[in-house]
């Protein structure tokens, strides 16, 4: 492969020319930063969504005895459950996104 550096207006892009094909592929230099930002936003979104659902939908009085001294422990338990549920659902969403990217790459660029 032949690699060339091209300076664009919004950043630096890596241009890869494949000798077997005439396709010109642009790979973003900041692709890792975009991926990490997407992961962070996805985790925060799903954690917030699961916290909202766990506090509004679930009736915690059926499962625990709610007293004034037990209320802070119950809130911490709900927060930990929402972090676990949000992280798992976010990882599932990101894995589906990665599988879709891999299939699109294999279908169109291989």
pLDDT digits (tens, 9 = 90+) for 84-106: 999 999 999 999 999 998 999 89
Residue-number span of the structural domain to which 91 is assigned:
2-108
User: 105 in helix, strand or coil?
Assistant: helix
Q: How far is residue 92's CA from residue 85's CA, in Å, rounded to a whole number?
A: 11
CA distance 88 to 73: 23
Is residue 82 within 8 A of residue 50, CB to CB? The reply is yes
pTM: 0.68
Structurally, how many domains does the chain consist of? 1
Q: What is the mean pLDDT of the chain?
A: 78
Q: Which carries the bigger pLDDT value, residue 77 or residue 3?
A: 77
């Amino acid at each position: 492969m032949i690699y060339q550096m091209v300076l664009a207006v919004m950043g630096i892009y890596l241009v890869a020319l494949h000798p077997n094909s005439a396709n010109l592929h642009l790979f973003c230099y900041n692709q890792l930063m975009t991926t990490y930002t997407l992961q962070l936003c996805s985790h925060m979104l799903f954690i917030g969504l699961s916290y909202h659902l766990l506090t509004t939908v679930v009736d915690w009085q059926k499962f625990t005895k709610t007293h004034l001294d037990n209320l802070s422990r119950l809130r911490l338990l709900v927060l930990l459950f929402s972090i676990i549920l949000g992280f798992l659902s976010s990882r599932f969403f990101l894995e589906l996104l990665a599988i879709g990217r891999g299939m699109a790459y294999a279908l169109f660029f291989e």
